[in-house]
Chain A
């Protein structure tokens, strides 16, 4: 969890046009003693308007609405409220929706197809500045990645990973396992500043511009990274 969030109540908002979903989310989330659903909204516009008064720490967003778009909201938050952690919670289980949401700036994507019990784990992960992706989507995205690599072994992703030094690869591997910078520093016995330098170099080599993209890359390419690290 980000240091500024530890020890205080985590404010969570939900944006979903299903009252039943909002009630179930609130019930499940508030099982955690430090988490509170402070606001519920049935449209993206209503949530956007509320941001003038206060920001939640985490927002859980549906994708499709009669009015407005969850994806547009994710893009808006990334641009204007980047400190809010966005978790998309959608009935859409097709991987291209998850990929689009992550590219737009979402920190996680959970499917309504899976038991709602996954939500606390997803919140934990996004609070740690990590990326949450539902297990079924992780599997599908990984399978697609592996298939593409088999069809085109010289694909750019693989080349980019190969260009990393051993230490950079190790750091990327730990990012994919959900470690934050401080935890990586402790794990590899280096200073936080050194790990930040590694993160900067990795981003440069992979053509990545933000920490969120780096975490997403590490998660999506986890199998490829682990395979490379094992060589």
Chain B
């Protein structure tokens, strides 16, 4: 099965991410896509930890950077809902309004769970033995 077909199949079942964006990111190369997704999983985990720690420490600068990084990662893979939630939090942090962030962060955290589940499903699909590119 070709990479674009495999991506389309997985993204039909995982609408949180955009298969066309993923194809663009790797220029159609499956090995690059696998590397990108593995890096993404590590980056998102690190940024989620940064946001959790920043919220606990009431550190607006670290919170802003962590959320901004998540916004960037979600933009690149076309995860529109997660991207928009991150952008809303980032704008509130920039405006100095951090009162609602904890609530918004819970929503984003749930959406990130969904996206990362989709990414892992995609990685499994890319590892399937019938994958011939």
Contact = CB atoms under 8 A, between A and B. Distances in A.
Nearest to B20: A115
Interface stretch (B6-14, B21-29, B105-113): B21-29
Contact of A116 (B25, B29, B35, B62): B25
Interface stretch (B36-44, B96-104, B124-132): B36-44
B116 interface: no
A18 B68 CA distance: 11
Contacts of B25: 20, 24, 27-28, 116
Interface string B80-110: 0001000100010000000000000000000
A112 B65 contact: no
B24 A65 contact: no
Given A20-B40, A23-B35, A113 B29 contact: no
A121 interface: no
B72 A24 contact: no
B interface majority secondary structure: helix
A113 B69 contact: no
Interface residues of B, number: 27
Nearest to B38: A20
B36 A24 contact: yes
The range of chain A's interface size is 20 to 34
B45 interface: no
Contact of B73 (A20, A64, A90, A116): A20
Interface string B43-65: 10000000000000000001011
Contact of A117 (B24, B40, B42, B65): B24
Contact of A21 (B27, B71, B76): B76
A116 B43 contact: no
A27 B32 contact: yes
Given A64-B68, A66-B65, A20 B76 contact: yes
A156 B38 CA distance: 52
B32 A113 contact: no
A205 to B, nearest CB: 37
B43 A18 contact: yes
A111 B78 CA distance: 12
A92 B72 CA distance: 8
B75 A113 contact: yes
Given A31-B27, A115-B24, A20 B36 contact: yes
Contacts of A113: 75, 83
Interface string A28-46: 1001000000000000000
A74 B65 CA distance: 19
18 contacts: A18-B39, A20-B25, A20-B36, A20-B43, A20-B76, A23-B35, A24-B25, A24-B36, A27-B25, A27-B26, A27-B27, A28-B27, A62-B72, A64-B65, A65-B65, A112-B76, A115-B21, A117-B24
Closest 3 CB pairs of A and B: A91-B72, A20-B39, A112-B75
Interface of B: 20-21, 24-27, 29, 32, 35-36, 39-40, 42-43, 62, 64-65, 68-69, 71-73, 75-76, 83, 87, 91
Given A113-B75, A116-B24, 4 more contacts: A19-B42, A24-B76, A91-B87, A112-B72
